[in-house]
Amino acid sequence: MSKVTDKDLVDRARAGDTAAFGVLVRRHQPRIYRLVVHMLRNASDAEDVTQETFLRAHQALARFDGRSEPYTWIYRIAVNLSLNAIRARKPGRNAGTTDDPRLEALLQERRPSALADPPGDAERKRLYVALCEAIDALSETLRTTLILVCIDGRSHEEAAVILGAPEGTIAWRIHEARRKLRELMTSKGYNPDGAGGEP
Tens-place pLDDT, residues 117-134: 666 667 778 888 888 889
Q: Alpha carbon of 36 to those of 77, 115, 168, 169: distances in Å?
A: 11, 30, 24, 22
Q: What is the pTM of this model?
A: 0.79
Give tens-digit pLDDT for 61-118: 989 888 889 999 999 999 999 999 998 886 655 554 445 666 555 545 544 554 556 6
**What's the CATH class of domain 6-88?**
mainly alpha
To the nearest 10°, the Cα dihedral for 52, 54, 60, 61?
Answer: -170
**What's the CATH class of domain 101-187?**
mainly alpha
Domain layout of the chain by residue ranges:
6-88, 101-187
